[in-house]
């Protein structure tokens, strides 16, 4: 009896240990409006397609940060994975953190809702001997804005500086939350080296370093908010304890610092004098329409290039369309960009290249194309017209019109023959023949239909056997499932063009599932370094590798960066090219 009980206990414990758990935990269920809340979503089995709740009534100031713990203790595997968020309440009251969901082994799991109470602000003690308080007074993160009153689509620069007092040290820092520029097009400028400089903060001498530079183009008018950047900083501050020589001992504390929320007021572009063909270009530009040949034969191809170059919001407006005579066959233009984003804004050129094929010989004047933009220097609209071009088609068929009409003055009439036998041309007798049919029984068709099921039995058995083998092929089924998911999400991305968040979410899932099927890559290994290492080990070309990594980066930055439909179309086409290239190189 004891043996049976022990065996049953062992079986139940093994069953319980194999159960999947997916839970949500919070650092506290009641907090002041000036405090922060940490939420962890933890699972004991790796999963896919994690979906966090909306966090309504909270602002996400940090995260998501992902942590994985995979260990073996006494032959037993222990696995845990968590997604962590840091939240700031927007107002006082009682709120609910909704359900998060994840797919684990084909099943969808959800967490339970959690109720949170937000009270009035809580006073924090100001103890001059407290290292945390000293650190809060000795280190500051500041966001400096080049222009707080720009025009719509005018570039502004945000520079993030970390100020540190003279008698305070900083070991390292880590970004825990990036600002979301939801009403801006944004581009980060690489800070190649961190140099310590001397400066002042509120009239006192400080040292500072430039951590980040970001170029913003406002996409809306009125008051726009620039969210803060948050850092986790290890700070060394002097304590009240001193050594035998009178020098203060240094205390090390971890401090979260944030730049304050900044507001800018965006001016609308003037309506007075706005050209009808104005498409949103703001800056200083040159415009031209060129062709690679002006004389050719019919059915030969030529190219027209519509080009805008200069300084301004080059990626945020459409080029004017080229309108050509109907006798010229025009194909959809190929869009290309050579744009560099510096601290002062975008510089470079954008082009639309049209392939044109004439069908007939002749002389074809090309209509003048105009391009309008708002000049920030003069605060006025300017219009540039292209040069007049004429295309000469020397050889080929002539475009002639052959009218199909009756001579004037003639009227078509119905004519009736005077002969009474006016229907003599129609046959009134038949030559039907009797059709005899053979009996179905014992016919060739009878025996074919009778024996066909027996002939198909071996094929049916072979098909059933193959299906059974396929059902037992766990790895193969997993690969086929991830392939289907990759195609599904890539199709969803195509359908979501123009909807930024849905598009890049579907695109990232497509890339994720594609890698899982090709490289047997688990979710816990889905990071750029691991992907790059595996693809290099498979001898994937550098262009294909760079293209895949850049797509992953675009999916990560999309949540913070406003993007146009043109950018999404380019990323979708790029994803198709990269996946096709990987298919050829990984097979």
* DSSP for 118-171, written as a single string: EESPPPPP--TT-HHHHHHHHEEEEEEES-SSPBTT--EEEEEEEEEETT-EEE
**CA 259, 260, 262: angle at the middle one, nearest 5?**
115
* DSSP for 208-243, written as a single string: EEEEEEEEEEE-S-EEEEEPPPEEEEEEEEEEEEE-
> Distance of CA 5 to CAs 11, 12, 414, Å?
10, 10, 107
Would you give per-residue pLDDT tens digits along the chain (587 residues)? 555 555 555 444 444 445 888 999 998 898 887 677 889 999 888 888 888 998 888 888 777 778 787 777 766 777 888 888 888 888 888 999 999 999 888 888 999 999 999 887 666 555 556 666 777 788 899 999 999 999 999 999 999 999 998 888 887 788 877 788 889 999 999 888 888 899 999 888 899 999 999 999 999 999 999 988 888 888 887 765 665 555 666 778 777 888 888 999 999 999 999 999 999 999 999 999 999 998 998 889 999 999 999 999 999 999 999 988 888 899 999 999 999 999 899 999 999 999 999 988 889 999 999 999 999 999 999 999 999 999 999 887 877 643 333 333 333 333 333 444 444 444 556 666 666 566 777 777 778 887 888 777 887 888 888 777 766 655 555 555 555 656 776 787 787 777 777 788 888 878 777 777 777 666 555 667 777 777 787 788 878 888 888 888 878 777 556 667 777 888 888 888 888 888 777 76
pLDDT of residue 576: 83
Q: 89 and 37 in contact (C-beta within 8 Å)?
A: yes
Q: Which residues contact 2 (CB under 8 A, 6 or more apart)?
A: none
**What sign has the CA pseudo-torsion 559, 546, 535, 488?**
positive
Structure token pair of residue 469? 């083998």
pLDDT of residue 521: 64
Q: Which residues contact 556 (CB under 8 A, 6 or more apart)?
A: 508
Dist. CA 394–CA 358, nearest whole Å? 11
Q: Each residue of 504-535: pLDDT tens digit?
A: 888 887 877 777 777 766 655 566 777 777 77
* Residue entry with tokens 């205390």: 251
Dist. CA 484–CA 449, nearest whole Å? 38
Dist. CA 337–CA 350, nearest whole Å? 4
Dist. CA 249–CA 259, nearest whole Å? 29
Q: Which CATH number fits domain 282-393: 2.60.40.740, 3.30.870.10, 1.10.540.10, 2.40.160.40?
A: 2.60.40.740
Which is nearest to 369 in space by CA: 357, 354, 359? 354
pLDDT of residue 402: 38
pLDDT of residue 286: 97
Q: 139 and 170 in contact (C-beta within 8 Å)?
A: yes
Phi and psi angles of residue 455, each rounded to the nearest 5 degrees, phi first? -70, -30
Q: 118 and 32 in contact (C-beta within 8 Å)?
A: yes
Which is nearest to 308 in space by CA: 273, 337, 268? 337
Stated pTM of the model: 0.50
Q: 33 and 119 in contact (C-beta within 8 Å)?
A: yes
Dist. CA 413–CA 108, nearest whole Å? 78
> Distance of CA 174 to CAs 62, 139, 207, 296, 459, Å?
11, 15, 19, 62, 63
Q: 345 and 156 in contact (C-beta within 8 Å)?
A: no
Q: 339 and 311 in contact (C-beta within 8 Å)?
A: no
Which is nearest to 505 in space by CA: 570, 571, 426, 559? 559
Which is nearest to 315 in space by CA: 182, 225, 217, 188? 217
The HSE-up count of residue 200 (CA atoms within 13 Å, CB side) is 3
* Residue entry with tokens 């690969």: 479
Architecture of domain 474-586 in CATH? Up-down Bundle (1.20)
Q: Which CATH number fits domain 18-119: 2.60.40.740, 3.40.50.2000, 3.90.950.10, 1.25.40.10?
A: 2.60.40.740
Q: What is the DSSP letter of 484?
A: H
pLDDT of residue 531: 79
pLDDT of residue 405: 35
Residues 296, 300, 305, 306, Cα dihedral to 10°: 90
Cα maximum dimension of the chain: 142
Which is nearest to 110 in space by CA: 189, 190, 43? 43
Q: What is the DSSP letter of 407?
A: P
Scored b (16 or more CB within 10 A) or e, 89-103 reads beeeeebebbebbbe
Percentage helix, strand, coil, to 5, in the chain?
25, 40, 35
> Distance of CA 435 to CAs 329, 430, 432, Å?
58, 15, 9
**What sign has the CA pseudo-torsion 321, 323, 326, 329?**
negative
Dist. CA 333–CA 214, nearest whole Å? 32
pLDDT of residue 279: 93
């Amino acid at each position: 009896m004891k043996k049976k009980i022990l065996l049953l206990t062992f079986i139940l414990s093994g069953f319980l240990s194999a159960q999947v758990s997916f839970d949500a935990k919070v650092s506290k269920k009641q907090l002041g409006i000036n405090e922060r809340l940490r939420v962890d979503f933890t699972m004991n089995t790796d999963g896919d397609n994690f979906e966090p709740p909306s966090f309504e009534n909270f602002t996400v100031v940090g995260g998501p940060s992902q942590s994985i713990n995979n260990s073996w203790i006494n032959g037993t595997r222990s696995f845990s994975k968590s997604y962590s968020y840091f939240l700031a309440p927007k107002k006082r009251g009682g709120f609910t953190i909704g359900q998060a969901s994840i797919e684990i082994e084909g099943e969808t799991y959800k967490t339970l809702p959690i109720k949170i109470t937000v009270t009035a602000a809580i006073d924090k003690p100001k103890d001059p001997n407290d290292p945390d308080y000293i650190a809060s007074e000795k280190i500051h993160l500041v966001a400096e804005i080049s222009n707080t009153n720009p025009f719509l689509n005018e570039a502004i620069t945000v520079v993030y500086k970390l100020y540190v007092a003279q008698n305070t040290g900083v070991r390292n820092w880590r970004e825990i939350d990036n600002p979301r520029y939801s009403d801006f097009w944004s581009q980060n400028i690489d800070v190649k080296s961190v140099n310590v400089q001397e400066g002042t903060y509120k009239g006192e001498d400080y040292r500072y370093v430039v951590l980040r530079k970001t170029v913003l183009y406002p996409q809306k008018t009125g008051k726009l908010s620039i969210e803060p950047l948050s850092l986790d900083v290890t700070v060394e501050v002097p304590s009240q304890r001193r050594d035998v020589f009178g020098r203060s001992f240094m205390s090390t504390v971890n401090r979260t610092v944030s730049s304050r929320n900044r507001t800018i007021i965006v001016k609308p572009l003037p309506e007075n004098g706005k050209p009808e063909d104005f498409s949103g270009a703001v800056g200083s530009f040159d415009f031209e329409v060129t062709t690679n040949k002006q004389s050719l034969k019919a059915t030969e191809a030529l190219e027209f290039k519509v080009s805008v170059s200069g300084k301004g919001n080059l990626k945020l407006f459409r080029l004017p369309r080229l309108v050509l005579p109907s006798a010229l066959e025009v194909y959809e233009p190929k869009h290309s960009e050579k744009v560099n984003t510096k601290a002062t804004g975008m510089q470079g050129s954008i082009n639309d290249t049209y392939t044109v094929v004439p069908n007939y010989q002749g002389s074809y004047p090309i209509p003048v194309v105009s391009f309008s933009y708002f000049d920030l220097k003069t605060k006025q609209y300017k219009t540039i017209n292209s040069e007049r071009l004429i295309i000469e088609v020397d050889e080929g068929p002539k475009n002639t019109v052959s009218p199909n009409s009756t001579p004037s003055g003639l009227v078509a009439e119905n004519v009736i023959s005077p002969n009474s036998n006016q229907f003599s041309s129609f046959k009134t007798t038949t030559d039907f023949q009797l059709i005899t049919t053979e009996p179905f029984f014992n016919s060739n068709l009878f025996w074919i239909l009778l024996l066909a099921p027996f002939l198909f039995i071996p094929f049916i058995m072979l098909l059933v056997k193959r299906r059974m083998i396929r059902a037992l092929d766990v790895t193969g089924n997993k690969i086929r499932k991830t392939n289907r998911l990759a195609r599904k999400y890539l199709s969803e991305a195509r359908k979501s063009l123009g909807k930024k968040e849905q598009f890049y979410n579907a695109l990232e899932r497509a890339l994720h599932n594609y890698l899982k099927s090709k490289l047997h890559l688990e979710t816990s290994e889905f990071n750029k370094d691991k992907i790059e290492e595996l693809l290099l080990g498979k001898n994937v070309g550098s262009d294909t590798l760079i293209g895949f990594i850049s797509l992953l980066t675009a999916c990560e930055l999309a949540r913070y960066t406003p993007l146009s439909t043109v950018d999404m179309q380019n990323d979708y086409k790029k994803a198709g090219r990269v996946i096709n290239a990987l298919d050829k190189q990984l097979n």
